[in-house]
Amino acid sequence: MKKFFSLFVAIVTLSQSLSAQEEPVAGRVFYTELGGPGVLMSANFDSRFKSQERLGFGYRLGVGFGYNNMGGHYSSTRTYYSFPVGLNYVLGRPNRSSSYEIGAAVTFLSRKVSLFNYDVYKPGNVIGYITFMYRLMPVNGGFSFRAGFTPVIGTAGDLHPMAAVGFGWAF
């Protein structure tokens, strides 16, 4: 009976120590986004600065594209590439999949374009963004969703409202 009790105590102690080890936390996400800092559509990578963290300071890097209609003629529509780079802060509870993001991004464009400037034509290669996003990202990884408001600071320095929605995979 003493051997059985000793074995039982050893198994319980071992199982508690194994369950006390932390499971991996999904702090990185690869996603595609319509709208937002990638302008029309982009593929992005988002991660926290501290490994194995879901909340706190982080960054995003992406590549996307858009169209610019020069002078209002269909034949003068040109494609350009966008490269969004941003910093963000994610707020929420550590064990919940829902969180909120506040951030800022700068998007570098492959050619000078005039975005959102209907009255003033001032082409530029850089635009800015502010991001206010809702994020649904499972704690242990999996399908991820994000949506929010991303006002744009256009090439002439004017502010325009814009929205974004993204789908991806957290790991």
Residue corresponding to tokens 């809702």: 134
**Topology of domain 2-170, CATH:** Porin (2.40.160)
Short-list 77, 82, 78, CA closest to 65: 82
Which residues, in sequence order, are CB contacts of 46 under 8 Å at separation 6+?
A: 28, 29, 30, 31, 58, 59, 60, 88
Residue 75's CB is within 10 A of a number of other CB atoms, namely 7
Write down the pTM of the prediction. Answer: 0.78
Collect all residues with Cβ–Cβ distance below 8 Å to 50 and sequence separation of at least 6.
27, 56, 57
pLDDT string in tens for the chain (171-residue length): 566 556 555 655 555 544 444 567 888 999 999 999 998 899 999 999 998 888 999 999 999 998 876 555 555 667 889 999 999 999 999 889 999 999 999 999 888 876 665 545 566 788 899 999 999 999 888 999 999 999 988 777 788 899 999 999 999
In terms of Cβ atoms closer than 10 Å to its own Cβ (0-12, 13-18, 19+), residue 60 is: buried
Instruction: Indicate the domain borders of the chain.
Output: 2-170
